[in-house]
Structure 1
Amino acid sequence: MTHLLGEFDCKLDAKGRLMVPSALKKQLPDVEREGLVINRGFEKNLVIYPKSIWDAIVAQLSTLNVYDEENRKFIRAFTRGATELSLDAAGRVLLPKSLTEYAGIGTDIMLSCQLDRIEVWDKNAYEETLDSTPANFAALAQKVMVDKKGAADGI
């Protein structure tokens, strides 16, 4: 399983291309062969997935009952705008204009690795999001990470 690490301060060029940082590319050894998929995030951001991770998510989605209206709405919203990305010879990817407009992404962006995916944020929006980190991070960690028996799994 892919575990990506790091935050990367980047810029989009005039054509909306992102130079994938070399430290990130090293963590994605199959990216040139496999490719990437980008789509909308749950917040006003974008998410880049290695193609194998995206395929696993789509496999999960395909198990949902499409006769259920909530499932259809979720699938439609989640996959809206999903686009395959491929690196050009210079190691750049072209971010779709419709997605960058949705996320309010300008020239200055932040890439934030989140386990097996990469969040793409407008730099100012990312900093605002981090500024709103819960005041009591320890309480949040306890709520999220501790199982019902009171022991954190895997920590």
Structure 2
Amino acid sequence: MSNFLGSHAINMDAKGRLAIPARVREDLAQVCGGRIVLTANADEERCLLMYPEPQWEAVRAQIEGLPNMHKKARRLQRLVLGHATPLELDSAGRILVPPTLRSYALLEKKLMLIGQGKKLELWSEERWFSWLDEPADDDELPPEMEALSL
């Protein structure tokens, strides 16, 4: 099971290539042989989701199983499945982010790679720090979070 944690400031070149940090690259090599799937985040945050291939297959099955006659489910399917791009780390530990995904997440040179346990998020550095500065909303907490003690 993967355990992607931490945040990493990384750079993307003009062609859309970025080097995965060594620690993350080692974990990806062990978990999936460097085969990943990069896709759009369907939440309001415009970032990308990076899944090790085996983890992606489980997520993919769940998304494909949603009732596509429901507008919100169809939107999720179109965003996540429609943007899903299988990639493999090259010998230098780099990936090439497709232009459509760069555009979707507003990615430029400075990026943040954020560990989320079983997956990673790829953010524009500017959008990441802007999101961190946003005040927390006042939505009700899910019951699972009410009992959480950090």
Structure 1 moving runs of 4+ over 6 Å = none
Taking only the aligned residue pairs, the percentage that are identical comes to 31
Could you tell me which residue of structure 1 aligns to residue 141 of structure 2?
A: 143
**Given that residues 2 and 31 in structure 2 are in contact (C-alpha distance below 8 angstroms), is that contact kept between their aligned partners in structure 1?**
no
Could you tell me which residue of structure 1 aligns to residue 26 of structure 2?
A: 26
Instruction: Name which of 97, 100, 106 aligns with 1:95.
Output: 97
- Structural RMSD (CA): 2.5
**Given that residues 37 and 56 in structure 2 are in contact (C-alpha distance below 8 angstroms), is that contact kept between their aligned partners in structure 1?**
yes
CA 1:18–1:34 in 2, change beyond 3 Å: closer, same or farther?
A: closer
| 1:57 pairs with 2:59 | yes
| 1:6 pairs with 2:6 | yes
CA 1:28–1:6 in 2, change beyond 3 Å: closer, same or farther?
A: same
Q: Normalising by the residue count of structure 2, what TM-score does the alignment of the two structures yield?
A: 0.84
- Distance in 2 (CA, whole Å) between partners of 1:48 and 1:73 is 19
Q: Normalising by the residue count of structure 1, what TM-score does the alignment of the two structures yield?
A: 0.81
- Structure 1 counterpart of 2:36, one-letter code: L
Unaligned runs of 5+ in 1: none
- Distance in 1 (CA, whole Å) between partners of 2:118 and 2:135 is 22
SS at match of 2:33: helix
Unaligned runs of 5+ in 2: none
Aligned length: 147
CA 1:83–1:24 in 2, change beyond 3 Å: closer, same or farther?
A: same
User: Which residues in structure 2 correspond to 1:82-121 (within 5 Å)?
Assistant: 82-121=84-123
Could you tell me which residue of structure 1 aligns to residue 17 of structure 2?
A: 17
